């Protein structure tokens, strides 16, 4: 395995047409691989606009099996370009059972594994519990051509337990495909604090675990216009801000908040080793004292 490799984060917007979004994503894979990226992550549910802004049974038709047509197209691109691809898809597992699933496709085009989003939000304009069954595969790390990595999805990023359990399986980079943005009514008062909290919690995962953290968000304003089905409402402004943080939480690259970008930055595994030697948080954990963490609340 190489000591250094470049990661690519595709910060993109979405049109109402899933097929167009897939082709745009594959074109971006071509671009970002030409910039030297060897492992590339796409935003959460990149094939569609963020349809969870409303509850509509017809939108389950957007889902597909894994493996399926989209994984086949992504595998073809990964093999042709020689890059590892991480992509969040709307998975149809069985009638009535759907997941928000990240697929990890290796540089030879093989499906290395899947991760099903564990934490499912239910907030105004983020009605994900209507669509997604909570993941049942646990937190996972995968060996790839560039190294051992883990992927979680969006709402998972707020939970240190998921980051810890993935890092403890040897993941050197935690990837977070994401779809997060501002409510128009909240942006003026809370927008800056929301963005700072979002970035801070994920930088903290890097510090606490001595790993790189790679976060890729969508960008642009959406009202959930899926295949021309417009929604009445104020919509969401996705704040972009995709970034890579090193094992001590330093942001080494960050995208803008208002435009599509390909972000490419280097991972140096020697820095990971050096950081853990000097800040040995994993060594000093009191694993004999953490059993109560499995309680909902300690009364």
Contact of 163 with 209, CB cutoff 8 Å:
yes
Strands lying side by side in the sheet with 212-217: 141-143, 148-151, 173-178, 212-217, 243-245, 251-254
Residues with catalytic function: 44, 117, 154
Partners of residue 174 on adjacent β-strands: 150, 213
Residue whose tokens read 């167009």:
20
Contacts of 271 (CB under 8 A, 6+ apart): 246, 247
Q: Is the dihedral of CA 37, 39, 44, 49 positive or negative?
A: positive
Q: What are phi and psi of 134, to 5 degrees?
A: -60, 145
Reference 102, options 176, 52, 170, 40; nearest CA is: 176
DSSP 8-state secondary structure symbol assigned to residue 134: P
Kind and range of the H or E run holding 246? none
Contact of 43 with 178, CB cutoff 8 Å:
yes
Encoding tokens for residue 205?
């995962």
């Amino acid at each position: 395995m190489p000591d250094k490799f470049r990661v690519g984060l595709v910060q993109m917007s979405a049109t109402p047409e899933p097929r167009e979004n897939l082709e745009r994503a594959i074109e971006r894979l071509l671009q970002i691989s030409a910039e030297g990226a060897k492992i590339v992550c796409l935003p959460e549910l990149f094939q569609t606009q963020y349809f969870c802004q409303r509850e509509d049974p017809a939108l389950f038709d957007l889902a597909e099996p894994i493996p399926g047509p989209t994984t086949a197209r992504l595998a073809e691109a990964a093999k042709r370009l020689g890059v590892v691809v991480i992509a969040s898809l709307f998975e149809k597992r069985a009638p009535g059972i759907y997941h928000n699933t990240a697929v990890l496709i290796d540089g030879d085009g093989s499906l290395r594994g899947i991760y099903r989003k564990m934490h499912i939000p239910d907030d105004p304009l983020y009605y994900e519990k209507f669509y997604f069954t909570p993941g049942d595969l646990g937190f996972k790390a995968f060996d790839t051509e560039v190294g051992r990595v883990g992927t979680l999805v969006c709402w998972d990023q707020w939970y240190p337990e998921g980051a810890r359990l993935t890092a403890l399986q040897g993941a050197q980079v935690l990837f977070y495909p994401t779809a997060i943005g501002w409510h128009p009514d909240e942006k003026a008062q809370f927008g800056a604090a929301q963005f700072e909290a979002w970035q801070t919690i994920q930088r903290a995962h890097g510090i606490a675990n001595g790993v790189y953290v790679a976060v890729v968000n969508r960008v642009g304003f959406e009202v959930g216009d899926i295949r021309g089905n417009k929604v009445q409402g104020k919509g969401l402004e996705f704040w972009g801000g995709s970034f890579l943080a090193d094992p001590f939480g330093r942001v080494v690259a960050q995208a803008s908040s208002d435009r599509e970008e390909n972000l490419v930055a280097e991972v140096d595994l020697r820095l990971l080793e050096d950081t853990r030697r000097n800040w040995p948080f994993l060594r000093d954990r009191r694993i004999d004292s953490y059993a109560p963490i499995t309680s909902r609340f300690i009364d």
